[in-house]
Amino acid sequence: MTAHGARAVERCRILADGPFSETPGSLFRFWLGPAYQRTLTQVAEWMEEAGLGTRLDAAGSLVGRYEGLVPDAPALMIGSHLDTVRNGGAFDGNLGVMLGIELVSALKEEGIRLPFAIEVMGFGDEEGSRFAAPMICSRAMAGLIGSIPEGMTDSSGVTMAEAMIRYGLDPGRLSEAARRPDELIAYIEPHIEQGPAIESVDGEIGVVTAIAAQTRHRVTVTGQSDHAGTTPMTMRQDALTAVAEMILAVERNGRSGGATQVATVGQVEVVPNTSNVIPGEVRFSLDMRAETDAARDAMVEAIRADLHAIAASRGVGITFDTPQVLPAAACAPELVEGLSRAVTTVTGRPAQRVLSGAGHDAMAMVDLCPMGMLFIRSPGGLSHHPDETVRVGDVELAHRALLAFVKEFQS
């Protein structure tokens, strides 16, 4: 019998190296890039070996389909994303796609066709690593965006429209990626936890109850560039020292809400970024998340008020751009219950239920169909890092739980 969990892990490791990354020596794969194209070619081959027919949708995502007993029946979709963050790990996103393929492979081995189809989804853009708007592909599938964002470019100045055209896609047909609600029964996303909750109780897999609300800002602080040697300290409008104080205010607010609230500054750009010039402008990212929309919104308001006050006290300007606001997304109760039963079947213990602080394509798909998530332990809670890993035994349990869930599932 095929060791489906081990093969899923092996294939994730294959995709973390060589031609499947844009950067030698580390993993970075962005939507519509050359490494992304090579990855889709390889994953499509694995899908077809498992018995799936494959196609590329209008957003450049890879869709595999295993027909049910009746052709063109509605589908239960299982999958995740194939893009990565810069210097990322092998399993974030990719493992969910590989587990979907292994699920179909197991069904094929057993000669099982279901009353519904199975679709395995490899979304192209979840991380927003190329353009500052994550989840483009899943949001397009859910009908949340019908056209590409205007004026958005990557770090090389390539617009999203240009990137799509170079890849052979028509940006004017992005809306064709949208699916009808009657086409999908549900969306299930297996994913590494990216946190410590499962490991903290010595668990292997868990069932997600909801995904936390998120808001992302791009903040620009404007001071005055001047000579670092001749401008007295009392006469400076130093944008960087203002931002240093702001970052501490972000941290303070993030800590104030307990374990289900976080706030992060993860990216800072200094202009002119020269050792003997006072920084005149600083741009930084601001990521804020909480369990509910109300808690998130209260934190956002408090942080913005603090940052405005710091800017005023230091004589610098401040502006906010908000490229992303995502509401909290609740997993469908019937899917939580079904996945929990499946986890108990394979582990012999009650399923651990967890909140996802990380965002996922499931946040967009909840607007199209019921969604659920299965989490796999992240050793050390580590993710978005080259040392991100999984245990093969945990992945095998996840595979068996998905198989048990699908066999029991009734549309």
Can you tell me the distance from the alpha carbon of 351 to that of 246, in angstroms, rounded to the nearest whole number? 41
Please, what's the b/e burial string for 357-394 (b: 16 or more CB within 10 A of its CB; e: otherwise)? bbbbbbbbbbbbbbbbbbbbbbbeebbbeeebbbbeeb
Segments in 113-230 forming alpha helices (H): 136-141, 160-167, 197-200
Q: Which amino acid is at 333?
A: P
Burial class (CB in 10 A: 0-12, 13-18, 19+), 108: middle
Residue with tokens 């965002």: 359
Q: What is the dihedral of CA 251, 254, 255, 258, to 10 degrees?
A: -170
CB-based contact 32:129 (threshold 8 Å)? no
Can you tell me the distance from the alpha carbon of 279 to that of 239, in angstroms, rounded to the nearest whole number? 6
Element (H, E) at 205: strand 205-211
CB-based contact 127:89 (threshold 8 Å)? no
Residue with tokens 């606001």: 325
Can you tell me the distance from the alpha carbon of 15 to that of 399, in angstroms, rounded to the nearest whole number? 19
Which residues make beta-bridge pairs with 318?
221
- CA 42, 46, 47, 51 torsion: positive or negative? positive
Q: Residues 6 or more apart from 162 whose CB is under 8 A from it?
A: none
Longest dimension (CA), the chain: 79
The annotation status of 216 as a binding-site residue, yes or no, is: yes
CB-based contact 308:320 (threshold 8 Å)? no
The annotation status of 81 as a binding-site residue, yes or no, is: yes
The annotation status of 289 as a binding-site residue, yes or no, is: yes
Pick from 138, 144, 121, 92: which is nearest to 358 by CA? Answer: 92
Strands 184-192 and 371-376 turn out to be parallel
Can you tell me the distance from the alpha carbon of 319 to that of 407, in angstroms, rounded to the nearest whole number? 52
Count of CB atoms situated within 10 Å of the CB of 302: 17
Pick from 252, 357, 241: which is nearest to 303 by CA? Answer: 252
Annotated binding site: 81, 92, 127, 191, 216, 276, 289, 384
Annotated binding site for allantoate: 216, 276, 289
Annotated binding site for Zn(2+): 81, 92, 127, 191, 384
